[in-house]
Amino acid sequence: MSYAHDPRQNYLLAALPADERAAGLFPQLERIPMPLGMVLHEPGRPPTHAYFPTTSIVSLLYLTEDGGSAEVAVIGNEGVTGIPLFLGGESTINQAVVHSAGYGYRLRGQVLRDEFVQGGPIQRLLLRYTQALFTQMAQTAVCNRHHALDQQFCRWLLLSLDRLPFNRLVMTQQLIANMLGVRRESVSVVAGKLQETGLIDYRRGRITVIDRLGLEERACECYAVVKKETDRLLSDICLP
């Protein structure tokens, strides 16, 4: 598939029947750049739009009162942000922020609501994706509580790469630390060890994966659990 800006680079949108794409969501989609650090949704505020990433990745973050943060899920070309828009929750406790720059498609919230309540393929896809997202959130909580930082880092990196059309990320150590809820120095140590063992190349904020199988072996079981459940729930979508 070409990556020259096509809504079908997002696998939820690509899974819609051709007639629904033409008559429903596609004419309403707006392609936008999604730069690093762009905030899409704020906690406690109703989202106005849904975002379908194509070559970008969005983090869902929980923000603490003392200014700390921790990532609870990642959303890329397999999904959509703004779940409360169609589940009826109106707002969320999480912040949605771009953690890997790229592009995506924006859709007005009311359009998504209207399409969802009509039922059919879009409703089924969104509900199954939501279940996959909840699985990721639950497994992230388990991982953060029970597994070592290097395992968490590998799990996070693999989940991010699954949602991109290439094998590299552009991120600072501080941003990674914010995602994992740890100190920047801890990320530096872990990234250095992975580089020494030849699993990644990390320089000037750019992470390139050299040995993906090695990363999978180093990660805890949480990555495999999330991937298996996501693949099962979205089995009718041509996931990468």
* Per-residue confidence band for 3, with pLDDT thresholds at 50, 70 and 90: low
How far apart, in whole angstroms, are the C-alpha atoms of residue 193 and residue 187?
Answer: 10
DSSP per position, 91-133:
--SSEEEEEE-EEEEEEEHHHHHHHHHT-SHHHHHHHHHHHHH
Q: Where are the domains of the chain?
A: 7-143, 148-226
Name the amino acid, one letter, at 31: R
- Give the rounded percent of residues in the chain with a pLDDT score beyond 70: 96
CATH for 7-143?
2.60.120.10
CATH for 148-226?
1.10.10.10
* Per-residue confidence band for 237, with pLDDT thresholds at 50, 70 and 90: low
Tens of pLDDT, residue by residue over 130-182, are: 999 999 999 998 888 888 989 989 998 999 888 887 788 887 778 787 777 78
How does the average pLDDT of the chain come out, rounded? 88
Tens of pLDDT, residue by residue over 70-101, are: 889 999 999 999 999 999 888 888 999 998 99
pLDDT of res. 240: 47
